[in-house]
Structure 1
Amino acid sequence: MSVGDSDLEELGMTPRDVLFVTCSLRTGASGRTILAYLSADIQQRVAAEPIPDEAGPGVFRDPEEFLASLTEIRDTGYALGFQECMKGWNSCAAPVIHHDTIMGAVLLLKPCTVMPEAPASVIDATVRAGSALSALGGWTPEP
Structure 2
Amino acid sequence: MTRSTPAPRDERTAVDKAMSLLNAFGNDAFVGVGVSELARRASLSKSTAFRLLATLQNNGAVERAGNAYRLGKMIQDLGSTQEDALQGRMRDALTPFLADLYELTKQTVHLAVLQGTDVVYLNKLYGHLQVRSPSRIGGRAPAYCTAVGKVLLAYDSDGAEQVMRSEMLAWTPTTITDPEKFRAELQEVRSTNLAYDREEILTGLNCVAAPIFGPNGKPVAAMSVSGPVGKFMPESQATVLRKVCYAASRAVAAISGQQHPTKRQAPKSA
Q: Any stretches of 5+ residues in structure 1 without a counterpart?
A: none
Q: Which of 199, 217, 225 in structure 2 is aligned with 1:83?
A: 199
Within a 5 Å distance, the mapping from 1:28-43 to structure 2 comes to 28-39=146-157, 41-43=158-160
Q: Distance in 2 between matches of 1:93 and 1:30?
A: 5
Q: What TM-score do the two structures reach when normalised by structure 2?
A: 0.43
Match of 2:167 in 1: 50
User: What is the distance in 1 between the residues matched to 2:249 and 2:135?
Assistant: 31
Partner SS state of residue 137, structure 1: helix
Residue 132 of structure 2 is aligned to residue 11 of structure 1: yes
Structure with larger Rg = 2
Please report how far the alpha carbon of residue 118 of structure 1 lies from its aligned counterpart in structure 2 after TM superposition: 2.8
* Displacement of 1:85: 2.1
- Whether the aligned pair in 2 keeps the contact of 1:98 and 1:134 (CA below 8 Å) is yes
Partners of 2:180 and 2:140 lie apart in 1 by: 24
- The Cα of 1:128 is off from its aligned counterpart by 1.3
* CA spacing shift, 1:14–1:30, aligned 2, 3 Å: closer
Aligned partners of 1:134 and 1:14: how far apart in 2? 23
Determine the C-alpha separation between the residues in 2 that align with 1:12 and 1:128. Answer: 25
Structure 1 match to 2:125: 2
Q: CA RMSD in A?
A: 2.6
The correspondence of residues 1-143 of structure 1 with structure 2, limited to 5 A, is 1-5=124-128, 10-11=131-132, 19-21=139-141, 24-39=142-157, 41-51=158-168, 55-99=171-215, 100-115=217-232, 117-119=233-235, 121-137=236-252
Which structure exhibits the higher relative contact order, with contacts defined as CA atoms closer than 8 Å and separated by 6 or more residues? 1
Q: Distance in 1 between matches of 2:229 and 2:252?
A: 33
Shift of 1:19: 3.2
Question: How many percent identity over aligned positions?
Answer: 24
Distance in 2 (alpha carbons) for counterparts of 1:46 and 1:14: 20
**Does the Cα contact within 8 Å between 1:94 and 1:127 map onto a contact in 2?**
yes
Conserved 8 A contact 1:57-1:86: no
SS at match of 1:60: coil
- 1:51–1:20 CA distance, 2 compared to 1 (3 A): farther
AA matched with 2:150: R
Alpha-carbon separation, structure 2, partners of 1:19 and 1:82? 20
Using the size of structure 1 for normalisation, the TM-score is: 0.77
Gaps of 5+ in 2: 1-123, 257-270
